Structure 1
């Protein structure tokens, strides 16, 4: 496994990004978006790192940017709009080094909102939304093969709201029993649900 720590050019300036590359027999590229920047979200979030490691074990290159204004990333919070543009710039930069590899997109909470917007501009084999903040942001329709993962004990985003949003679009859902919003003590179950959802 090789790790690259970069500051990638984006509309906000440069975004701090960690790329973990399994190097051998690469299967694809996973772009992971972290939770809310103004509430402690970063590329080091344990849900984000769990998803990235799971993808790496399956032969996928994981890409974890810090949103604008987080860590060493330039810029300031833009409620998901500018963040979407930034992630597209990161994806275009990264894919130049990995031509032909397919994308999968995963986002956690606020990151799920950003990724569902990015999916409208970036073709991907799969969109995976973890604890999507559907009661905090206006989500558009997503592709039919989108997978929604959430905890049945989520204390921030009501599980019935997530389930209803997904059911209206006939999306596949994976509910993790007794898991809260941040999946404390449930990362193993989260990893398993992600691997079942990911094309990796």
Structure 2
């Protein structure tokens, strides 16, 4: 059994250049791979965002290899913002690279995609290409996703939304989720960045993943 968490910082070669990536392996044998996407690059979104940090740590605690990265043009990642299209390529490239890296002992383990805000919308774009078993979306930016984006074929879907979200209103998420019959976990009093609600956010993720 491992005595400590293994943390790695490295670059992955993407279509727009190098992608800055952080990966953490759990102490025990990993249950799968979780790839987390951050909020809007043009509004200060990076992989160091506190909701992304909460998702990253939650997945690691749940036994997943946790991966987060900066989209093109953010931090040390090369390239320029591409309105969710190039960012989808970034997710696919990072995910497939990590899957290949761990294929020797994780080829039959599940893939989980997670994203916050813009990152959630981009993850919806990536679902069809990556076929994840689980999807965790926190206040997803539906307008970033393709208008026909759905979670069809995904075994586990968790959507978490604050009822006081001033950027992506709860009604927007409900209007999108209703035709797809997707349940939503609503956190009362939470606004878009979940100030003061990160503990509840983490608890919700843990409960969902242990079902």
TM-score by length of 1: 0.94
CA contact (8 A) 1:116 1:139 kept: no
Aligned match of 2:89: 85
Take 2:159 and 2:135, find their aligned partners in 1: how far apart are those partners? 9
Aligned match of 1:129: 137
Take 2:144 and 2:33, find their aligned partners in 1: how far apart are those partners? 28
Tell me the alpha carbon deviations over residues 22-57 of structure 1, each in whole angstroms, 9 at most, x when there is no partner. 142210110000000011100100000101101111
Take 2:63 and 2:144, find their aligned partners in 1: how far apart are those partners? 34
Using the TM superposition, give the Cα deviation of residue 197 of structure 1 relative to its aligned residue in structure 2, in angstroms: 3.3
Which residue of the other structure, out of 176, 183, 195, is the alignment partner of 1:165? 176
Aligned match of 1:107: 115
Q: Does 1:75 align with 2:79?
A: yes
Take 2:18 and 2:133, find their aligned partners in 1: how far apart are those partners? 27
Take 1:95 and 1:135, find their aligned partners in 2: how far apart are those partners? 28
More helix by share: 2
| 1:1-200 matches, cutoff 5 A | 1-99=5-103, 100=107, 101-135=109-143, 138-144=146-152, 145-198=156-209
Using the TM superposition, give the Cα deviation of residue 146 of structure 1 relative to its aligned residue in structure 2, in angstroms: 2.6
Tell me the alpha carbon deviations over residues 109-146 of structure 1, each in whole angstroms, 9 at most, x when there is no partner. 10011100111100211111110112565442322443
CA contact (8 A) 2:124 2:145 kept: no
What is the number of equivalent residue pairs in this alignment? 200
Q: Which runs of 5+ in 2 are unaligned?
A: none
Take 1:26 and 1:85, find their aligned partners in 2: how far apart are those partners? 25
TM-score by length of 2: 0.90
Take 2:195 and 2:94, find their aligned partners in 1: how far apart are those partners? 29
